[in-house]
Every structure is written in C-alpha cells, then in structure tokens.
Structure 1
Amino acid sequence: MASFINRLFGGGGRTRAPDRPAEGAEPPATERKASRAAMFAVSGLGRPVWTPRDYTALAREGFQRNAIVHRCVRLIAESAASVPLMLRDGRREYDDHPLLALLTRPNPRETGAALMEAVYGHLLIAGNAYVEAVLLDGAPRELYALRPDRMQVAPGPDGWPAAYDYRAGTQTVRFHQSGDVPPILHLRLFHPADDHYGLSPMEAAAVALDIHNASASWNKALLDNAARPSGALVYAGPDGANLTDAQFERLKQELEAQFQGVANAGRPLLLEGGLDWRQLSLTPAEMDFMEARAAAVREIALAFGVPPLMLGLPGDSTYANYAEANRAFWRQTVIPLVRRTAQALAHWLTPGFANAGARGGLTLEPDLDGIEALAGEREALWRRVSAADFLTDDEKREAVGYGRRTAGGPRERH
C-alpha cells in the first residue's frame, strides 16, 4: 500500500497489487519527468523588486535564504509536531486505538512527528497543506503529506472542491473527494480574498522579508568591495581632456584587482594624473541598515506569531522575560495551530473507524500535560487546587481536567 508519491517515483512501502490503485485516484503513467522550472519576474530600472507571491519563490527567498523565516518555521513546526494528541469518545480517553496507531506510524517511511512537521511546515510557508489517505476497504491505512505547489483544487458545480489534481512534471493524478473518508485533507489558513486557498504568514511578511534579504545582500556586496561605500573617481585632466578607452579599462582593472574584496580592506588608494576620489553621499549610516534589519525581523516574527526575544533579537533577555515569551508562544501560536489541525484530522478520519468500538464521536485534542513549556502553569494549578479544602476529591479531579474517580471503570478526562 503506497501513496501517489511512491507510485509516481517508484518508492518503496507496503506492496499493492499493480492493478489496484488507491481509492479515488487514477494510476499515473510510469514515465519519470523532472519538475517544472520556476518563473522569475523582471522589473524595470529603479523600481523595487518584490518576491512573487507563490510557493516556490516564498520557499526559496524565505525558508531557504532567510535565517529568521527559517527559524520561525522550524520553531513552530517542530514544537507543534511534538505535542501529543489525545483521542476521546466523550469523556473517555483511549490509550490504544487504530486511529492513534495510524497517527503514530502513518506510513512505512515516516514517524507521526515527521509527517506532522511537514504538514505544519507546508501550512506556514504556503498557507495550505495536503494530506493523502491511502484507503483499504474504506478505512485509512497510511497517510502522506503532499507538496502544496503541485496541488490544484478542482471545484464542483456548487463551488466546493470536488477533486484535487496533483501534478509532478507532465504527470497528473486526480483525487475525487468521495466516500466516507475523502482521499485528500486540505488544511488552509484564513484568506479573506480566496475561496479555495489559504494565506501564508510569509506572504503577509513578504515586504519585510525582501527588505531583510536586500540589506543582507547590500552588506555582502559592501564587504566584497573592500568594506567601503561606493564612490566616484573624478578625472581633472588638462583642458578638460577625458581618459582614453585604454586608460579607462586599465584603471578599472587595477581597482578591481587591488582594492576590492575583503583581503584588500583598508588598503590606501594611490591616485595620479589628475584623479580625485569623491565618496558618494549615500552611506550605510544614512540608510541605517541595522535598524531597518531589526524592524524587518520584528515584522517577520509578528506575522508568524513568534516573540522576537526567542529569535535572539537584541534587547532585554532576562530569564523571566524569556520564560514569559516562551509561554506566550505556546499559548498563542502553537496550541491553537495544533488544536485546529487535530480537529480537522478527527473530522476527516473518524468515519473510517466507525467499527472500532467508539460509543460516540471521536475527537482529537492536544495533551497539554505533555508540554514541558507549560509544566509551570500545570504545577501552579495543582498547587492551588490541592490547597482548596472546600473541594472534594472528585471536584479537584474535575478542576484539573480529570473525571470523577470510578472504581474499575474506563479512564475519563475532561
């Protein structure tokens, strides 16, 4: 049993009869093709060049080339993927269930944490994440994360997605959204102007991202040019004469060979023959690159919901402030993301486990007791509840999230 990715590129996994494709998908051709080339935009002279609002450009300019975005995405994705999930049926909590086993080992090649880290990463970079369910007899048996830049929504007559087309090179497979468990789960962040696709935090911070990257490129070019700002060599020859072509080329070659680069930083410039060096008025101090970079970092962190203190931004970094920033990060960014993703997974997958002994509707929730960053809050709550002499033991259990004590019954939690 394997996903479309394995079938398309000949990957391993559990075996499946060659003539039995995954439910809701058409078998792709066996020809192997390279991925499509990215598109580049060229702007006119003197106009700002902004990163295109597409997944490939945002992934390249943000996650791959910008340390702040890279750290924000990894910090959120890894933290969210580490949160344990609880499966409940009303107040009853399951320790052993086929759905939990599927989320723990979603496919032969990945662990549950690796799959969810990829899902969260796609969601943060593209604003969309797609999970494929490989079904057997109507029940999900394997889960795979699909690249969002290769997926396209195929709306039905009512405007809702009726199918999803996954393209890799020249090959396409269509997943029809039918059955109790549709083959594709589409997770998306809120987009006020799009009915089918989500808005990435990186897209909202694209201007700050471009400013941060441009300032880094400027500083790199500054080092390559002897750590000096650009200037002008003015030739004041006799009677207004100009340099000949040969003299101009010789002067340019000598400047590049002897005065550019880090190795030549601080080397004195010897001028002759009426040459005069005049520094241009636009200097790094006037443009205030360091302040612009710090402001860009704050805007990027704000878009992702990561406290700037956690990114090492200069400022007050006492232990108390960092601990508060860490709790705010978990409470305001990570836990809401995990909770909405867990709800979407439960809504999508639980119809496939209707015969697994559940009494009611199954729900997935983050287990806050398993989050080390919130251990201090939990300890303070237990301390306050334990000191409340006016509460009974059952009331104290309910106050901290556990059900009443029942002798010999199933474990219950609120």
Structure 2
Amino acid sequence: MSFVVSGGSVQSLSRASFNVPLRLPVSASAMPWEYDKLWRTQPAVRTVVTFLARNIAQLGLPLYQRESDTERKRLQDHPLATLLRRPNPWTTRYRFINALVHDYAIYDVAYLLKSKVDDGTVGLIRLPPSMVTPKGDNWLTPAQFEVVGTKERKTYDADQVVYFRGYSANEDVGVSPLESLRQILLEDWAGSRMREQTMNNGARVSGYIKRPPKTESGDWSKESRDRFREQWQQQYVGEGAKAGGTPILEDGMTFVPAAQTAKELQYVEGRKLTREEVAAAYFIPPPMVGILDHASFSNITEQHKMLYQDTLGPWLTMIQDEIALQLVPDFEKSKPHDFYVEFNLREKLTGAFEERASAMQSAIGGPYLTVNEGRAMDNRPPVEGGDELIRPLNVTQNGDQNPVPAEDGGPAPATTRTEKPPAEPDDEQDQED
C-alpha cells in the first residue's frame, strides 16, 4: 500500500501566498489597468470573452443520475437541478453562467458562495474576483476566502465557496490570459491614444525643426534654446494644450515633416492582428469573431461544428467537473459519483433541420415523427389519431411475415423478377410426331 504519506505533512512544505493578480501594468508611465477595465475598453478582449460567455450560457445544464453503464435518468425535481435552473431569486440561469464564464475568462478564477436565501432554500451567489482574496496556510489550496466590500469584510471557509481556477506554476490560483497579451494590448492602447489626439486637434504633426544657419539667424543662446524647447513640450508634446495641432514657428525656423500615414502604420492590419492574437489566446477560430479574410461557406460551417467540440469542450468539461467535485456531495453524500451535470449540446451539434431529418430517416428506415409531433413543432394543436407513426406500405421490419396488404382494386404489384415465357413448339418435332 503506497498511500502512507499524510496530507498534513505535504501541506506544511511551503508557505501559502496566493498572489492573485487583478491588474495589468500597461506601461511604466501609466497606472496599472484592472483586468475588468481592459474588458470594458479593449474591443478585441470584449468581443472574444463575451463570445465565449454567450455561447456557453445559452446551453442547458441538466442533472443526471447514472443507473447503469448504458442508462441514465434526467432529474427535474432534484434540489441541485432546481438550484442550477435558478441559482438565487434575482439571477436567471443564463446570467449566472454568463457571469461565471466572464469571470473565469478575464481573471482565470471565479467564486460562487453557497448561501441560504430568504425562503430557507439554498442558493449560489457570484463573488466578483476583484473583491476576493484566497487565504490560509495550506499552499496546496486555499483554506479560506476573504471578501472585502465597501462597507465591511467577511471570511468564508473553503467548503462554503465553489472555487474555479486555472493553472499557475506554484500556487492553486489562475493566471489571466491577458497577461500573455500584455505587449499587444499596450501597442493597441498607444495607437488608440495617438488617434484620439489626432481627431481632437486635427492633423498630427511629426517631424523635426530646422533652424537657419548662425550667419543668417544670429547666435542662439542656451537660455533661448532651453526656453523654446520647454515651451514646445508644454504645448505640442504628449498631453500638451495644443498636442496634435499646427505649431507656429519664428526666427526663420522651418518644420520638416517626418510623419507616417495610417496606411504606412498599418492601422487596419494592426487592429485586425490584435483581435486575432486575443482570439488565439482563447483558442477561438478567427471567423467566429468576425475575421473573414480566409473564410468561406464550407470552412465556416465546419468551424461552427468544431466550436462546441474543440473550443468550448474544455470549458464545459471544467465547469461540469468542478460542480461534480464541489456541489454534488452537498446534496448526495452517500453516492455522489452516481450524479453528474452535463451541458446539453445535442441541439448545437445536430446541424440544420433538413440534414438531421434526412440522417434520422436514413438510419431508422422510415418516418420517425408522428403527425402530432410534427404539428407541435409548428405550434399547431394535435389531431385525433395523430399519435401513431405512419407506416408506408413498402416498409417492413425484420421477421415481418404479414405485411400490410394493398386495398382491393388497387394496382397489381410490380413483379420483382422476369419470368421466362413458354417456348414455342418446334415445327420439325411436330411433324415427326
């Protein structure tokens, strides 16, 4: 038996720090930006993250009980199923999953507080990651979570919080994907600042100032040169009052332009590259977020099918596993492994209705919907006698020795083989007889 080392001895190997970064330093001269501010202000980040959250939130998350290796039963009235449909009195299932995926995609961590609502039932409350700090001496996983609000702070034990987290090299916390996009987001931010100044003050002037020779303009003292430089920087550089405006020169000075146009700076290509890099960081195919340079009808169709398998599949598995680990045992203590949640992907992966109907009919060999089932799909009321499957006359099952006969007076069935006509009598033989 190799399971002899106690968990407590492993926990005491190191001191826990749980350093969860919540902001991204944009540049040395600028204040750090919180990750949620990047989501609010960076179009590429918001497009990609919201794309993930919306596509996952629209999927149902039913609860199942495993009855055998091949059978399972969907539970509708189970307390956990009710909780997932309505996490708390003020949050719908869609907004709940949408917020959960947003938190995880932005911070690589997400927190749900297990609580009691006013009517005495259990509920789940989202805790914003910017308000939560993991605590405890156990470096393997947090033992407590401190929530700091504007009025007070509270501490909750680990078993009171459903803790979603990604990977970190040394700690049981996640590292935001935005960290790997630091330089790209910085370049996009700097470019946006330049374009803002240009639009506010007119054409942005870039170049250098050329002064006539000393023999023509006279001596230029150090005090005059410093005064001119200081005045220029205060008015036309950075956050100056006339930044982006047209300067007025004197003493025979000339301005030599050395600017680059938006085309030379590859403005459109730069914005497109930013979106492509952000999409790649979240493993999303570019056509799914509006980059259609190399898109066609066929590859977009295939990438849409792959979306819920390769792109969103790991996300869905992560959420399902964390619920099975941290929520199911609270409701089923005796046999927690017999209960599990699973996102409903059937409607997303079955393709168009025509493709699905054709495939189902080919696999079954006959009609697979009753009249009333078809009318219900078109929001029409049922009709009498419409609950039986229609069975065509030319369709039988294996071993069916009594096929449905055709009505009397109907056309004779076509023969399936050609019978050889009787031979003509041989004239010579007739004469001999």
- The one of 299, 307, 331 aligned to 2:309: 331
Question: What one-letter code is carried by the residue in structure 1 that aligns with 2:109?
Answer: N
- Matched position secondary structure for 2:124: strand
**How far off is 1:234 after superposition?**
2.4
Contact 1:81 1:116 in 2 (8 A): yes
RMSD: 4.0
Question: What one-letter code is carried by the residue in structure 1 that aligns with 2:182?
Answer: A
**How far off is 1:332 after superposition?**
2.0
Contact 2:114 2:123 in 1 (8 A): yes
How many residues end up aligned between the 2 structures? 331
Q: Tell me which residue corresponds to 1:43.
A: 28
Contact 1:209 1:300 in 2 (8 A): no
- Matched position secondary structure for 1:227: coil
**How far off is 1:275 after superposition?**
2.6
- The one of 316, 322, 327 aligned to 2:300: 322
- Matched position secondary structure for 1:116: helix
**How far off is 1:141 after superposition?**
0.6
Work out the CA distance in 1 between the residues paired with 2:333 and 2:234.
79
Contact 1:140 1:349 in 2 (8 A): no
Higher RCO, 1 or 2 (CA under 8 Å, sep at least 6)?
1
Work out the CA distance in 1 between the residues paired with 2:339 and 2:220.
84
Question: What one-letter code is carried by the residue in structure 2 that aligns with 1:361?
Answer: D
- The one of 82, 105, 110 aligned to 1:129: 110
1:233 equivalent in alignment to 2:209: yes
Which aligned pairs between 1:257-296 and structure 2 lie closer than 5 A?
260=244, 274-280=252-258, 287-296=265-274
Work out the CA distance in 2 between the residues paired with 1:270 and 1:148.
51
Contiguous gaps of at least 5 residues in structure 2: 1-21, 67-71, 369-433
**How far off is 1:210 after superposition?**
1.8
Work out the CA distance in 1 between the residues paired with 2:304 and 2:178.
21
- Matched position secondary structure for 1:123: helix
**How far off is 1:161 after superposition?**
2.2
- Matched position secondary structure for 1:336: helix
Which aligned pairs between 1:180-199 and structure 2 lie closer than 5 A?
182-191=159-168, 193-199=169-175
**Cα distance per residue 1:186-224 (max 9 Å; x no partner):** 101222x13221122222222222222222222323334
Q: Tell me which residue corresponds to 2:351.
A: 376
1:72 equivalent in alignment to 2:48: yes
Which aligned pairs between 1:245-264 and structure 2 lie closer than 5 A?
260=244
- Matched position secondary structure for 1:143: strand
Question: What one-letter code is carried by the residue in structure 1 that aligns with 2:345?
Answer: L
**How far off is 1:146 after superposition?**
0.3
1:58 equivalent in alignment to 2:39: no
1:164 equivalent in alignment to 2:145: yes
1:367 equivalent in alignment to 2:344: yes
- Matched position secondary structure for 1:387: helix
Contact 2:131 2:148 in 1 (8 A): yes
Work out the CA distance in 2 between the residues paired with 1:163 and 1:253.
53
Distance 1:360 1:232, change over 3 A: closer
**How far off is 1:342 after superposition?**
2.2
- Matched position secondary structure for 2:174: coil
- The one of 89, 100, 113 aligned to 1:119: 100
Distance 1:252 1:84, change over 3 A: closer
1:87 equivalent in alignment to 2:87: no
Work out the CA distance in 2 between the residues paired with 1:89 and 1:254.
70
Q: Tell me which residue corresponds to 1:176.
A: 157
**How far off is 1:104 after superposition?**
1.4
**Cα distance per residue 1:144-202 (max 9 Å; x no partner):** 1101122122234574322211122473211123xxxx2101101222x1322112222
Contact 1:89 1:361 in 2 (8 A): yes
TM-score w.r.t. length of structure 1: 0.67
**How far off is 1:301 after superposition?**
0.8
TM-score w.r.t. length of structure 2: 0.64
Work out the CA distance in 2 between the residues paired with 1:157 and 1:231.
58
